[in-house]
Amino acid sequence: MERRAVILVKGRVQGVFFRASAAQTATELGIRGHVENLTDGNVRIVAEGETENLEKLIEWCGEGPPRAKVESVEFEWLPAEGGFIAFHINRTQRRSD
């Protein structure tokens, strides 16, 4: 079943290749969506795909790439909306609200 997960990763997750590594992991898992830095220093991922693969991505977020120091991972399950054709990195920082 396809679902959407909105994932918030807190900790030292900017400047450590978190977005690039998350995009690679998501692509390998067949997940579509995007990852972006937030102005508060955290990272948000909006991802759609099979529940099992989304769970694997959420698990990966708990570790991240080698230089990351993840403090917490929060996520919310939502119905899939469609509209994503691939997984990409948003290059602009967004507010965390």
Catalytic residue among 3, 4, 12, 19: 19
Catalytic residue among 4, 32, 37, 53: 37
Known catalytic residue: 90?
Answer: no
Alpha carbon distance 28, 85 (integer Å): 14
Crossing angle, helix 51-61 and helix 18-28, to 10 degrees? 160
In Å, how far are 36, 38, 63, 76, 92 from 8, measured between CA atoms?
A: 10, 10, 13, 9, 16
Known catalytic residue: 67?
Answer: no
**β-sheet bridge partners, residue 70:** 11
Alpha carbon distance 36, 38 (integer Å): 6
Catalytic positions, written as ranges: 19, 37
